[in-house]
């Protein structure tokens, strides 16, 4: 194997490890948000909270900037995840829409 090939394999192994960690972290996140969805359904809280989402977007964009990650990408990722969270919350029986401002979509 050439030095470049060895380096490529090492880098790809690192990427594979990071991808695995991301999958496990996402699974943990969704376990938590599913519990939030059940809580919202039990207390008739809305599945979404646009104010909470805006706060989270601002926070994640700042974190992305600090991490030298494109803030636009971070926001797109967040919006993708939130859409799935809302789907879970709605499936759990939480009403759609923001009626009281206290529910948290992003968590």
68-92 per-position pLDDT tens digit = 999 999 999 999 999 998 888 787 7
Model confidence over 8-41: pLDDT tens digits? 999 999 999 999 999 999 999 999 988 988 898 8
What is the structure's pLDDT at 86?
Answer: 84
pLDDT surpassing 60 at residue 101:
no
- Predicted pLDDT at 100: 36
Angle, CA of 65, 68 and 70, to the nearest 5°: 65
Report d(CA 86, CA 107) in Å as an integer. 10
pLDDT at 95: 76
3-state secondary structure of 29: helix
Asked if residues 47 and 37 have their Cβ atoms less than 8 Å apart, the reply is yes
């Amino acid at each position: 194997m050439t030095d470049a090939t060895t380096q490529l394999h090492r880098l790809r192994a690192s990427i594979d490890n990071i991808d695995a960690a991301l999958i496990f972290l996402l699974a943990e996140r969704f376990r938590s948000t599913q519990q939030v969805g059940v809580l919202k359904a039990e207390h008739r809280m809305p599945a979404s909270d646009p104010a909470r989402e805006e706060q989270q977007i601002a926070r994640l964009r700042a974190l992305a900037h600090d991490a030298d990650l494109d803030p636009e990408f971070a926001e797109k990722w967040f919006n993708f995840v939130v859409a799935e969270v809302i789907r879970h919350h709605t499936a759990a029986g939480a009403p759609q829409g923001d009626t009281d401002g206290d529910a948290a979509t992003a968590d």
